[in-house]
Amino acid sequence: ASGTIWIVQDRSTFKAAEAEIKNSNEEMAAIFESSTLGIAFIKDRVMIKANSKLEELFGYGQGELCGQPTRCWYPDEESYQSVGDAYSALAQGHTYRQVMKMQHKDKSLFRARLSGCALSADLSRGSVWTVENITAEYEATEAVLRAKEAAEAAEGKLRDSYAELEAANQRLQKLDQLKSDFLSSVSHELRTPLTSIRGFAHLVEREFSRSFASMAEKDAGLTKKSHRIQENLGIVLKESDRLTRLINDVLPKPGLAYSVG
């Protein structure tokens, strides 16, 4: 009589493996979707999968990027080709990193940090790329650099202004010294003859009073002339004293420095 053969297989191990794989896939999907970076899985420069952050970053709707060539990321053919040239480096196990301009769906530009790595050496399994919008960071860095350049330029102008002021101050000091020398010379040239005039006027007035004034008392005409001469000598002495005071007020005494400051 014929019979049947039954095979009994314990599938609990397989079910546990399947559950583990499912959990792992779910964890990877959660990481993929919750990342703060835009992430795309790409084959032959076509987006197979993109997370919501990447769609948001470029301004596309849900699922709109899947199946599109990455050409839509780039504002011009040159930048698109420059990234394409990097795939040979990816095949050798290198990671591509570049800061460059990229474009939103509406063609507006932003600064992005682009990174990519291959899943296998022959690129058959595709590559994973991340995109981060660093426009604010880039503009802040540029602002700091501009501020630094402005500060350095201002510092350079300040140094130039200080040098000009120093040169002007030295010129003023030289002019001040020339003026001081001139006034000292003028003071000496005026004081010397004025001292002589005052001295001789005193001498003449004294000798005239002693020797000639008494002789003129006997003659009315000579007496009148004697008084006039004495008055004139008095005027000479008075005016010489006034001129001496004026020189003392205006001109420095010999040997003293003079400053206009």
More confident: 25 or 165: 165
Q: What is the pLDDT averaged over residues 118-139?
A: 91
DSSP lists the bridge partners of residue 118 as: 127
* pLDDT above 70 (res 22): no
121-128 LR contacts (CB < 8 Å, sep 24+): 121/91, 121/92, 121/93, 122/91, 123/87, 123/90, 123/91, 125/43, 126/41, 126/42, 126/43, 126/48, 127/41, 127/42, 127/43, 127/87, 127/90, 128/39, 128/40, 128/41, 128/42
Question: Mean pLDDT over all residues of the chain?
Answer: 84
User: Which pLDDT tens digit goes with each residue over 208-248?
Assistant: 777 776 676 767 777 788 888 888 888 888 888 888 888 88
User: Which pLDDT tens digit goes with each residue over 54-112?
Assistant: 999 999 999 999 999 999 999 999 999 999 888 888 988 899 999 999 999 999 999 99
pLDDT at 257: 46
* pLDDT above 80 (res 11): no
pLDDT at 260: 35
pLDDT at 75: 96
* pLDDT above 80 (res 152): yes
- 109-118 and 96-103: which strand pairing? antiparallel
* pLDDT above 70 (res 171): yes
pLDDT at 258: 43
| Residues 131 and 37 sit within 8 Å (Cβ to Cβ) | yes
Sign of the C-alpha dihedral computed for residues 208, 209, 210 and 212 taken in this order = positive
